[in-house]
């Protein structure tokens, strides 16, 4: 595989889409973990 074809493959439009969706998935996962933590703390405060 030549270097120019590798660079061409990495410059494809699907790479941009993949990066955007990857960042969105990571942000969503972090948000979900934060939400679960907040609900857990709220329920523990109510029980105690």
Over residues 3-48, the pLDDT tens digits come to 777 777 777 788 889 999 999 999 999 999 999 999 999 999 988 7
Q: For residues 18 and 4, what is the distance between their CA atoms, to the nearest angstrom?
A: 21
Query: How high is the pLDDT of residue 1?
Result: 53
Gap between the Cα atoms of 20 and 15, Å rounded: 9
Global pTM value: 0.68
The pLDDT, as a whole number, for residue 27 is 98
């Amino acid at each position: 595989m030549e270097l120019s074809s590798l660079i061409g493959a990495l410059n494809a439009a699907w790479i941009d889409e993949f990066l955007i969706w990857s960042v969105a998935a990571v942000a969503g996962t972090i948000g979900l973990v934060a939400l679960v933590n907040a609900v857990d703390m709220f329920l523990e405060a109510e029980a105690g």
